[in-house]
């Protein structure tokens, strides 16, 4: 034979196995240590819309790479506040459908969630969060931090309007003075309206923005006399130009809502409960006052450490990164990039919160995603009158230094021979005379025009000109629109 076969002894075989086992053990140990080093501990403060979407984005896409710990001071998460007025106005049967996530669902994906656990402070240098958990101080370290602390109701300087000290649910010191932010706030209002011993007949709503207008309708639908008060001499100021807001004001008056525009609230009076509301011009006897004057970013935890916008919101870039490394901010506590302005802005909308949560979740989890920016697209439907807008109004465009021009058109939604369910649509397009770029759009109709505003939102995002918009390929079918629909016709009338 040209080669030899060497027999392996039993002892050599054992030594060989021991060596292989040792190699396997150390290989697994090294791999585990490397994985542990790659694993990040992510703490999320706040678990409503932006927080919830950040958490789900991390767990769904990078769950095996990260440990996620969540703190929220509330007892529930994901409450859709936009349904609050529908609930109060008996337009939906109850609140069950106003939640889309819960603690159990997040924990089933691997997160550790602490509810009813307010964060008291954050050590950004030491990377620790201190919270109250079951009434005891709890310190949690983090590698990366997401701030999703949202916003808080604005409390104007009104005599008699105070929040109970230490209240985290915005409970007022005067009975039947109500704030509207949380599920608990809506539940309390509904309980009082349904309590015959309360005998609530007349309600004053302070603030004629989106929430105030929706609540005015809701209380009227609930059979109450309603007075809507605002310091501005119109409603929905900032979202629409005056000709549009006047139309909504007339719509509310037609349905019996008393409008007290151009009045500043000075006091809410009553011995133990609300009896009247006093403005600089009048006094109104009421049984309930609802303050809906707007919201401010809730950013106390980062005070003095994180850079902020002029209104106190955390300044973030398009990846939701704050001025401190490994700290991200999402939702109503943070700024957005406004494509209409080509600059940073603050626009508190649930849709913006959701998108920022997704972007922040990806970047914290291990991805690399940038926001497309926003246009502030929004809509409202009151007694069947539908209004939608995006971008800048003519008034805002002037204020921000643009040279705006406006084209406006009113036409039927569908072909004229379509006799059923065919109503007028009024559209206003705002564009810049110098660059020809579309800056904003507003639409109003009794028809469902909601999808049309999305095209304008994209046009602003992509810096489309009014001339290009006029020749955009839009389909025609009599059931839906006209051959030259109101969008095309309005754009075609723009001055050259």
The secondary structure of residue 160, as a DSSP letter, is: T
Parallel, antiparallel or unpaired: strands 225-230 and 336-338: unpaired
Contact by Cβ (8 Å): 357, 57: yes
Render pLDDT for 68-88 as a digit per residue (tens, 0 to 9): 999 999 999 999 998 999 999
- Contacting residues for 387 by C-beta, under 8 A, at least 6 apart: 236, 239, 240, 244, 248, 379, 380, 381, 442, 443, 444
Cβ contact 410:428 at 8 Å: no
Residue 331 · residue 48 · CB < 8 Å:
yes
Mean pLDDT estimate for the chain: 92
pLDDT digits (tens, 9 = 90+) for 322-364: 999 999 999 999 999 999 999 999 999 999 999 999 999 999 9
Identify which has the larger pLDDT, 282 or 24: 282
Residue 282's CB is within 10 A of a number of other CB atoms, namely 11
pLDDT of residue 32: 47
Query: CA–CA separation, 236 vs 118, rounded Å?
Result: 34
Q: Using alpha carbons, select from 340, 299, 300 the residue that is nearest to residue 316.
A: 299
Structure confidence by residue, pLDDT tens digits, 299-315: 999 999 999 999 999 99
Averaged pLDDT for residues 444-471: 95
pLDDT of residue 3: 43
Residue written as token pair 């303050």: 291
Question: What's the pLDDT at 36?
Answer: 46
3-state secondary structure of 133: strand
Cα–Cα distance, 243 to 239 (Å, whole number): 12
Binned at pLDDT 50, 70 and 90, residue 485 comes out as: confident
Q: Going along 91-216, which residue ranges are E strands? A: 112-114, 119-123, 128-133, 136-141, 144-147, 151-153, 177-179, 202-206
What pLDDT is recorded for position 168?
Answer: 86
Q: Residue 6 carries which DSSP code?
A: P
Task: List alpha helices for 149-209, DSSP H.
Answer: 183-194
Note the pLDDT tens digit of each residue in 131-175: 999 999 999 999 999 999 999 999 999 999 999 888 888 889 999
- Say yes or no to pLDDT of 117 above 50: yes
Rounded Cα distance between 281 and 102, Å, is: 46
CA atoms of 229 and 292, how far apart (whole Å) = 10
Give yes or no for a contact between 490 and 408, defined as CB atoms under 8 angstroms apart: yes
Beta-carbon contacts of 66 under 8 Å, excluding residues fewer than 6 positions away, are: 39, 40, 41, 42, 58, 364, 365, 366
CA–CA distance, 176 with 188 (Å, rounded to integer):
9
Instruction: Categorize the per-residue pLDDT at 483 as very low, low, confident or very high, splitting at 50, 70 and 90.
Output: confident
What is the 3-state secondary structure of 238-268?
CCECHHHHHHHHHHHHHCCCEEEECCCEEEE
Question: Any idea which residue has 């300087």 for tokens?
Answer: 157
Give me the mean pLDDT over the 114-123 stretch.
98
What are the catalytic residues? 49, 82
* Residue whose token pair is 């969540």: 70
Burial class of residue 37 (count of CB atoms within 10 Å of its CB; 0-12, 13-18, 19+)? exposed
pLDDT tens digits, one per residue of 227-259: 999 999 999 998 999 999 999 999 999 999 999
Model pTM score: 0.90
pLDDT > 90? residue 24: no
* Cα–Cα distances in angstroms (integers) from residue 191 to residues 85, 194, 199, 206, in the given order: 14, 5, 12, 20
Q: Are 220 and 290 in contact (CB under 8 A)?
A: no
Q: Are 440 and 397 in contact (CB under 8 A)?
A: yes
175: which 2 tokens?
Answer: 């009975």
């Amino acid at each position: 034979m040209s080669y030899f076969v060497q027999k392996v002894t039993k002892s050599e075989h054992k030594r060989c196995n021991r060596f292989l086992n040792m190699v396997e053990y150390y290989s697994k140990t090294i791999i585990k240590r490397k994985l542990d080093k790659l694993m990040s501990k992510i703490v999320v403060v706040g678990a409503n819309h932006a927080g919830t979407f950040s958490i789900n984005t991390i767990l769904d896409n990078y769950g095996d790479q990260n440990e996620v710990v969540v703190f929220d001071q509330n007892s529930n998460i994901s409450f859709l506040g936009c349904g609050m007025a529908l609930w109060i106005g008996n337009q939906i049967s109850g609140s069950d459908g106003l939640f889309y996530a819960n603690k159990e669902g997040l924990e089933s994906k691997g997160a550790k969630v602490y509810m009813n656990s307010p964060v008291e402070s954050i050590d950004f240098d030491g990377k620790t969060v201190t919270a109250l958990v079951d009434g005891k101080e709890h310190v949690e370290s983090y590698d990366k931090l997401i701030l999703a602390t949202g916003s808080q109701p604005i409390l104007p300087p009104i005599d008699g309007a105070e929040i109970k000290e230490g209240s985290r649910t915005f409970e007022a010191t005067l009975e039947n003075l109500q704030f509207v932010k949380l599920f608990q706030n809506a539940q309390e209002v509904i309980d009082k309206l349904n309590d015959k011993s309360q005998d609530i007949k007349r309600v004053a709503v302070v603030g004629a923005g989106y929430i105030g207008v929706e609540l005015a309708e809701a209380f009227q639908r609930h059979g109450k006399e309603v007075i809507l008060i605002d310091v501005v001499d119109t409603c929905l100021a900032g979202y629409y130009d005056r000709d549009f807001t006047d139309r909504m004001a007339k719509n509310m008056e037609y349905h019996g809502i008393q409008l007290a525009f151009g009045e500043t609230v000075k006091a809410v009076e009553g011995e133990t409960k609300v009896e009247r509301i006093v403005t600089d011009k009048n006094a109104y006897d009421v049984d309930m006052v609802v303050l809906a004057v707007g919201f401010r970013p809730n950013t106390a935890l980062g005070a003095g450490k994180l850079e902020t916008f002029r209104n106190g919101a955390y300044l973030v870039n398009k990846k939701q990164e704050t001025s401190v490394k490994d700290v991200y901010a999402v939702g109503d506590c943070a700024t957005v990039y406004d494509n209409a302005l080509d600059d940073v802005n603050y626009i508190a909308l649930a849709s913006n919160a959701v998108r920022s949560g997704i972007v922040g979740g990806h970047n914290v989890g291990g991805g690399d995603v940038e926001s497309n920016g926003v246009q502030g697209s929004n809509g409202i439907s009151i007694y069947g009158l539908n209004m939608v807008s995006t971008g800048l109004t003519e008034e805002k465009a002037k204020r921000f230094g643009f040279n705006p021009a406006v084209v406006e058109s009113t036409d039927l939604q569908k072909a004229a021979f379509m006799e059923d369910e065919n109503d007028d649509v009024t559209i206003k397009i705002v564009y810049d005379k110098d660059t020809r770029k579309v800056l904003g759009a507003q639409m109003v109709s009794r028809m469902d025009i909601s999808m049309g505003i999305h095209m304008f939102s994209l046009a602003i995002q992509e810096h489309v000109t009014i001339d290009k918009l006029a020749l955009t390929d839009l389909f025609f079918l009599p059931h839906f629109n006209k051959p030259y629909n109101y969008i095309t016709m309005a754009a075609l009338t723009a001055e050259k």
